[in-house]
Structure 1
Amino acid sequence: MEEPAAKLTCRELEVLRLLAQGLSNRLIARKLDISEKTVKNHLSNIYCKIGATHRTQAALYAQYAGLTDPGEAAPPASAPAPLPEKDAPPAGPCLTARERGVLCLLAWGLSNRLIAQRLDISEKTVKNHLSNIYCKIGATHRTQAALYAQYADLA
């Protein structure tokens, strides 16, 4: 059976690799010298071809499929807090147990609604936890947080 990544065009692979680095559509567009609309079109095609429903699933797919180097899964330079060094302790200590649970489920690609159902809490509470997590780890969106969780072995 053919791997889904084999169905991607060269440009789609470039977009997927940049997405897996945690870059926004705007930054992907700048890096590839294309419009944001073109990035969105590529992402739609990628999602369809690999069976993803959103960017976090696509970024995680890229990681699992070996389309990126582990060192590439870092937030952009503008993020306030860098990822820990390899010898540093995992990110867990600054996060509460509930925040680690939410982050783990996010890294598995679950939506806020599914995270809430799994943890028997409201979606609003999930959003509050995610805001706290983003602040603590220096992420600006869920894809960066999911990649951070994977890097810190929380996923």
Structure 2
Amino acid sequence: MARKLDISEKTAKNHLSSIYLKIGATDRTQAALYARQTGLIGPGEAAPSAPAFTPVPDDSAPPAGPTLTARERGVLRLLAVGLSNRLIARRLGISEKTVKNHLSSIYLKIGATHRTQAALYAQYVDLAS
């Protein structure tokens, strides 16, 4: 992001901290969700600094979306509201390693490469409510 804006990494971090404070976010996931909810980025649209991501199948794909297990949906729902792996594990009574395994499976099924994309997907398919 710093290179793209032609500013130092420290300046970028300072701007992000200021933005987080103003919108009440604690991390990039929450900031991305805020951006989506306020219309700064559209449904399924990746944040500008993130790789492109299309959470819905295109016309050539089968109509059904990825099949997540009930546990994966639960993990994804908690991730979408901004919980860390540790807090997800505590909430569900499982280990952090198990949460990481579920997230890896979720990422593979929905085509995400990181938790922000997964959280945006959850918002898009209305898992976070």
Q: Aligned with 1:70: secondary structure?
A: coil
- Which of these residues, 45, 69, 72, is aligned with residue 72 of structure 1? 45
Following the alignment from structure 2 to structure 1, what is the Cα–Cα distance between the partners of residues 114 and 43?
Answer: 19
Cα deviation 1:43-96 (Å, max 9, x = unaligned): 11111122211111111122222322225247624x6xx4224874343x1x22
Task: Please list, as runs of the form range in 1=range in 2, the aligned pairs for 1:108-147 lying within 5 A after superposition.
Answer: 108-147=81-120
The answer for unaligned runs of 5 or more in structure 1 is 1-27
Matched, 1:61 2:30: no
The answer for unaligned runs of 5 or more in structure 2 is none
Give the TM-score, by structure 1 length. 0.67
| CA contact 1:73–1:148 (8 Å) conserved in 2 | no
Task: Please list, as runs of the form range in 1=range in 2, the aligned pairs for 1:1-155 lying within 5 A after superposition.
Answer: 28-73=1-46, 76-77=51-52, 82-85=54-57, 88-91=63-66, 93=67, 95-155=68-128
Q: Aligned with 2:126: secondary structure?
A: coil
Tell me which protein shows more helix as a share of its residues.
Answer: 1
Task: Tell me the CA shift for residue 104 of structure 1.
Answer: 1.0
Which residue in 2 is equivalent to 1:23? none
Task: Tell me the CA shift for residue 115 of structure 1.
Answer: 1.0
Counterpart residue type for residue 119 of structure 1: L
Following the alignment from structure 1 to structure 2, what is the Cα–Cα distance between the partners of residues 133 and 71?
Answer: 16
Following the alignment from structure 1 to structure 2, what is the Cα–Cα distance between the partners of residues 29 and 90?
Answer: 35
Task: Tell me the CA shift for residue 121 of structure 1.
Answer: 0.9
- Aligned-residue RMSD, C-alpha: 2.4
Following the alignment from structure 1 to structure 2, what is the Cα–Cα distance between the partners of residues 144 and 36?
Answer: 23
Following the alignment from structure 1 to structure 2, what is the Cα–Cα distance between the partners of residues 109 and 62?
Answer: 14
- Give the number of aligned pairs: 123
Task: Tell me the CA shift for residue 152 of structure 1.
Answer: 2.5
